[in-house]
Structure 1
Amino acid sequence: MRIKQISVSKLFGMFDHVIPLNLNEHMTIVHGPNGFGKTAMLRVLHSLFSSRIDVIKTYPFQQFQVIFEDNSLLKIAKVIDKEGKLGRIETFLFTYTNEEGENIYKPFHQKLSIRAEDVMRYIPPRVIEREIPEISRNGVNKWSDIETGELLDIQAVLDRWGYRIVRLLPSSTKSNMLDFEPPWFDELSNKVRVRFIDTNRLQNKPSSHRVSEYESRNREPVPMILTISKKIASAIQKELSNFARFSQALDRTFPQRLLESKKQSVQKLNNEELNARLEELEKKRLRFMNAGLLDMDETTDFQIPLKFDSTQRKILSLYVQDNEEKLKVLDKIAAQIEAFSNIINGLFTYKEISCNREIGISLKNRNGDPLELEMLSSGEQHEIVLMYELLFNIEPGSLVLIDEPEISLHIAWQQEFLANLGEIIQLSSFDILIATHSPAIASSRWDLTVDLEGNIEC
């Protein structure tokens, strides 16, 4: 489900912004001075579809709207409930309507008045940990946000994720505490995939496995560039395992399928077709070898005969069809690695990267001498992290929010950024919304730009 437009009224009490997304080009650039709310709008949008109401609460606005491709509308309005038991309570009114303005789903209030003492009375810490996998326990009523590493008390945990465990409370206790998301909002959120790539790209996120507070404080942070290298190696190994399993299954049944080829009507290729497809197979194998997926061997210069007899054609026809199916397993990872390497090496002048199954990313200088990845400049690392995220971590159909892609990049690299995005979008279709201060990012594509400066009402 694609998002067509987002808008906000009275952001920070001053700004009214409307951002239409360019769905044809799949890229939209939000441009404007500091303090106008570019990052705020990206964070609110991402938090909305990540059920992070706590983040939305930190940004003052009156109303936030999302219009989808089918012209349906999700509207979030902030409401101040002065009669709440805890005094002044900020709640959210959610409404989902169609293009005629008719409510498709009834509005509901999202209240944030859940209290720690009520929860701790009925729900033990082990249940909280089970229901909220994003946190790990670091002591009595102390927790760590696994994604950010932030240390939280129990009230902060409940403010962020309380809607997940309030369902477990007795009815008498949870009344007037928290109106959690109804099924229609859960269903809508599952249809909309939003990914946020923030400015803090080089800082590695904590490991997802649970650690003690002492370990968390004393563990040396691993540079993100090294983590990405390991992830690429793991991705290659995973696809090669799939390739091996599929290949073994075909090889095991090859003799039987060959003997029963008449019954199964296996396509029998003529000499010209066989030569053409055998040649394409060799080209594809060489391509996958260069991508680090297959081992280099000494048979790449094998000369294919021009003619085959009837028996040879029968055997080779099935051989060709089997190997074409085998190599299809590696098509996606090969395309990702090729685009990743081509983009990065197209930017680098005196260095070159390659990918392989053992360590992921290898780096060498122009003389062929190996270099450590940590020797890369911050700009080089930023570019690698961004390209990795976009090529390996984004599902088709997602909306990707990128905050300040120009960080640490030379102006020449900034001018190449949109062209590189276009190449990536060709491989995996998704939409991108960029917030930037840099005119060089837009380069010659100002038609993709939304200038927030023209949408201000103070």
Structure 2
Amino acid sequence: MQISRLQIKNLYDQYNYDIDFNSEEKEQITILTGPNGYGKTTILRILKSLNPKSLYYFYIIKFSEIIISFDNNTILNITQNYKTEVESRSAIDYKDELEKEVRFIWNKATGEPLTHCVYNRTNIEKARRSYNFFKGTYSRRRAFDDLSNREKEEILLDNEEFNEYIAKANGQEQFLMQLKTLRSYYIPANRIYNEAYEENEKLPIEKVREALKDEMTNARFDYLIHSQRIDSIFIKKVLGSIYEDCSLSSYNELKTEVENQMNTAAEYKLAEKVEIPEYNEENKAVLFAYLKGLKEKFSKFSTILEKTNLFHKILTSKGFANKSVETSTQHGFKIKSNNGDIIDEYKLSSGEQNEIIMLYRLIYEVPDQGLLLIDEPENSLHVAWQKTIVDDMKEIASVKHLQIIIATHSPSIVSRGLSMTQDLYYLTKMYD
């Protein structure tokens, strides 16, 4: 499910936006730009928070209404209201002191209600008191009520159990189930520095290399298990009634296809090459059964090979200065200098690390047919690399069937994707 339109009213009591994501020329990509302070990152966070873990975000930001239209002809309406205690007070001046309520109403295009959720101070405080979602995380140090407001918000902004408690207490589980149909993935700005200062022993680039190694190792393990199963029934295929006859041309056509699959898998050390016999009229039934078995084996690599080919192709096109990137099951990826020396990944420039980290996340971690949100992809990248971002995103969106929304300040990205760009400064002027 993808987003076709986003309307935001009175964001921070200042901005109104109506953003169309459904224009065909955008090629599934929308670029948001505009001056600092106009809410580019906030818009990404609004869309990122449409999941069962992050609903509390709609309680802490200020807006009056958010309307999200989806390509399946459903509409999510989110409203934020305040109960005025003293009629003479200005709602804007005293909002932080008033009781707030956030309503989520999901309707079909006909207006027929689909599901809903209500978020207010009463059910939030009840959940805090009644459900020990923080037990084991903070209780060793101090009670939840003793935490600062910022620490409390950090917990509630990333807590699916907390929202499940509220939903269950109010009979609103269906709303969370509907949210799960939105497959979104958020890549924040300052990726290297934010993650590097977390309490981790490994740097982000090291974690990405090991994650890629695990991806490929798991793919090889699945292939070996799959191969054993196919080998175990090979004799039945040959001797039974299910084997197929074939002609010389059919055999050679399939042989070429299997060799291409095998060579690509061997290039990344996912499988070893095997010899494929030439066509023989006398043994054609056995040969064809063997060849079909190989095709079935190597088909297990279809997903990982498609991703790894794309990852390798884009990285290779960047032309890393005096070095190259190799991908394999043994290393994940390996950096080699032009004279053949191995370079530790953490010794790469910040721009090179950013490129690898971002591409890995885009290609391997972002769910297919989902919504990808990227904040400032230009971080640490040379202008020449910034100019290729739009083309890279087009290719990734095409392979993974993604909707991509980018927030950026980069003139290089904007100029390359001008027809895809929405400038928040000019959008606000449309309401003046």
- Shorter-chain TM-score: what band? 0.7 to 0.9
* Structure 1 counterpart of 2:4: 4
* Structure 1 counterpart of 2:175: 185
Contact conserved, 2:30 with 2:406, CA < 8 A, in 1? Answer: yes
What is the CA–CA distance in structure 2 between the aligned matches of 1:137 and 1:366, rounded to whole Å? Answer: 53
SS of the residue corresponding to residue 139 of structure 1 reads coil
What is the CA–CA distance in structure 2 between the aligned matches of 1:87 and 1:368, rounded to whole Å? Answer: 65
Aligned-pair Cα RMSD in Å: 3.1
Instruction: Note the C-alpha offset of 1:129.
Output: 4.7
- The C-alpha deviation readout for 1:134-190, integer Å capped at 9, x for no partner, is x676534269x9xxxx9945x86468643334578xxxxxxxxxx757134223202
Contact conserved, 2:30 with 2:405, CA < 8 A, in 1? Answer: yes
What is the CA–CA distance in structure 1 between the aligned matches of 2:202 and 2:284, rounded to whole Å? Answer: 55
What is the CA–CA distance in structure 1 between the aligned matches of 2:77 and 2:126, rounded to whole Å? Answer: 32
- The C-alpha deviation readout for 1:348-406, integer Å capped at 9, x for no partner, is 24221112222211110122211010111111111111111111011122111101111
* Structure 1 counterpart of 2:17: 17
Instruction: Note the C-alpha offset of 1:83.
Output: 5.3
Residues 384, 22 of structure 1: alpha-carbon distance in 2 compared, 3 angstrom cutoff: farther
- The C-alpha deviation readout for 1:397-417, integer Å capped at 9, x for no partner, is 211110111111111111111
Specify the code of the residue in structure 1 equivalent to 2:105: T
* Structure 1 counterpart of 2:119: 110
Contact conserved, 2:255 with 2:276, CA < 8 A, in 1? Answer: no
* Structure 2 counterpart of 1:29: 31
* Structure 1 counterpart of 2:293: 322
What is the CA–CA distance in structure 2 between the aligned matches of 1:201 and 1:2, rounded to whole Å? Answer: 25
* Structure 2 counterpart of 1:92: 102
Residues 204, 222 of structure 1: alpha-carbon distance in 2 compared, 3 angstrom cutoff: farther
2:233 to 246, 253, 268: 253
Residues 398, 294 of structure 1: alpha-carbon distance in 2 compared, 3 angstrom cutoff: same
Residues 58, 221 of structure 1: alpha-carbon distance in 2 compared, 3 angstrom cutoff: farther
Question: Is 1:378 matched up with 2:380?
Answer: no
Specify the code of the residue in structure 1 equivalent to 2:81: V
Instruction: Note the C-alpha offset of 1:444.
Output: 3.4
Contact conserved, 2:192 with 2:204, CA < 8 A, in 1? Answer: yes
1:235 to 215, 221, 224: 215
* Structure 1 counterpart of 2:270: 293
Question: Is 1:195 matched up with 2:175?
Answer: no
What is the CA–CA distance in structure 2 between the aligned matches of 1:225 and 1:407, rounded to whole Å? Answer: 15
Contact conserved, 1:7 with 1:19, CA < 8 A, in 2? Answer: yes
What is the CA–CA distance in structure 1 between the aligned matches of 2:287 and 2:205, rounded to whole Å? Answer: 45
Instruction: Note the C-alpha offset of 1:93.
Output: 1.9
Instruction: Note the C-alpha offset of 1:272.
Output: 2.4
SS of the residue corresponding to residue 191 of structure 2 reads coil
What is the CA–CA distance in structure 2 between the aligned matches of 1:103 and 1:69, rounded to whole Å? Answer: 17
Specify the code of the residue in structure 2 equivalent to 1:410: H
- The C-alpha deviation readout for 1:171-219, integer Å capped at 9, x for no partner, is xxxxxxxx7571342232022112111113125759xxxxxxxxx99x6
SS of the residue corresponding to residue 98 of structure 2 reads strand
Contact conserved, 1:382 with 1:408, CA < 8 A, in 2? Answer: yes
What is the CA–CA distance in structure 1 between the aligned matches of 2:217 and 2:420, rounded to whole Å? Answer: 39
Residues 129, 337 of structure 1: alpha-carbon distance in 2 compared, 3 angstrom cutoff: farther
SS of the residue corresponding to residue 36 of structure 1 reads coil
What is the CA–CA distance in structure 1 between the aligned matches of 2:294 and 2:371, rounded to whole Å? Answer: 36
Residues 329, 77 of structure 1: alpha-carbon distance in 2 compared, 3 angstrom cutoff: same
What is the CA–CA distance in structure 1 between the aligned matches of 2:236 and 2:220, rounded to whole Å? Answer: 25
1:345 to 316, 322, 343: 316
What is the CA–CA distance in structure 2 between the aligned matches of 1:33 and 1:159, rounded to whole Å? Answer: 27
What is the CA–CA distance in structure 1 between the aligned matches of 2:97 and 2:61, rounded to whole Å? Answer: 20
What is the CA–CA distance in structure 1 between the aligned matches of 2:276 and 2:339, rounded to whole Å? Answer: 33
* Structure 2 counterpart of 1:433: 405
Unaligned 5+ runs, structure 1: 169-178, 207-215
Contact conserved, 2:244 with 2:288, CA < 8 A, in 1? Answer: yes
Question: Is 1:63 matched up with 2:35?
Answer: no
Written as runs of structure 1 = structure 2, the 5 A alignment for 1:22-421 is 22=22, 24=24, 25-82=27-84, 88-100=98-110, 102-105=111-114, 108-113=117-122, 119-120=128-129, 123=131, 125=132, 128-129=134-135, 138-141=140-143, 152=151, 157=155, 161=159, 162-166=162-166, 182-203=172-193, 221-260=201-240, 263-264=241-242, 266-295=243-272, 305=278, 307-310=279-282, 312-347=283-318, 348-421=320-393
% identical aligned pairs: 23
Specify the code of the residue in structure 2 equivalent to 1:325: E
What is the CA–CA distance in structure 1 between the aligned matches of 2:100 and 2:193, rounded to whole Å? Answer: 33
Residues 368, 156 of structure 1: alpha-carbon distance in 2 compared, 3 angstrom cutoff: closer
Residues 290, 194 of structure 1: alpha-carbon distance in 2 compared, 3 angstrom cutoff: same
SS of the residue corresponding to residue 48 of structure 1 reads coil
What is the CA–CA distance in structure 1 between the aligned matches of 2:9 and 2:126, rounded to whole Å? Answer: 36
Residues 340, 248 of structure 1: alpha-carbon distance in 2 compared, 3 angstrom cutoff: same
What is the CA–CA distance in structure 1 between the aligned matches of 2:138 and 2:289, rounded to whole Å? Answer: 54
Contact conserved, 2:66 with 2:77, CA < 8 A, in 1? Answer: yes
Instruction: Note the C-alpha offset of 1:447.
Output: 1.0
What's the TM-score, normalizing by structure 1?
0.81
Contact conserved, 1:204 with 1:223, CA < 8 A, in 2? Answer: no
Residues 289, 67 of structure 1: alpha-carbon distance in 2 compared, 3 angstrom cutoff: same
Residues 358, 164 of structure 1: alpha-carbon distance in 2 compared, 3 angstrom cutoff: same
SS of the residue corresponding to residue 191 of structure 1 reads coil
Contact conserved, 1:204 with 1:227, CA < 8 A, in 2? Answer: no
Instruction: Note the C-alpha offset of 1:445.
Output: 2.7
SS of the residue corresponding to residue 437 of structure 1 reads coil
Specify the code of the residue in structure 2 equivalent to 1:399: L
Specify the code of the residue in structure 1 equivalent to 2:260: K
Residues 356, 437 of structure 1: alpha-carbon distance in 2 compared, 3 angstrom cutoff: same
What is the CA–CA distance in structure 1 between the aligned matches of 2:214 and 2:52, rounded to whole Å? Answer: 27
Residues 71, 275 of structure 1: alpha-carbon distance in 2 compared, 3 angstrom cutoff: closer
* Structure 1 counterpart of 2:90: none
Unaligned 5+ runs, structure 2: 87-95
Specify the code of the residue in structure 1 equivalent to 2:329: R
Contact conserved, 2:269 with 2:330, CA < 8 A, in 1? Answer: no
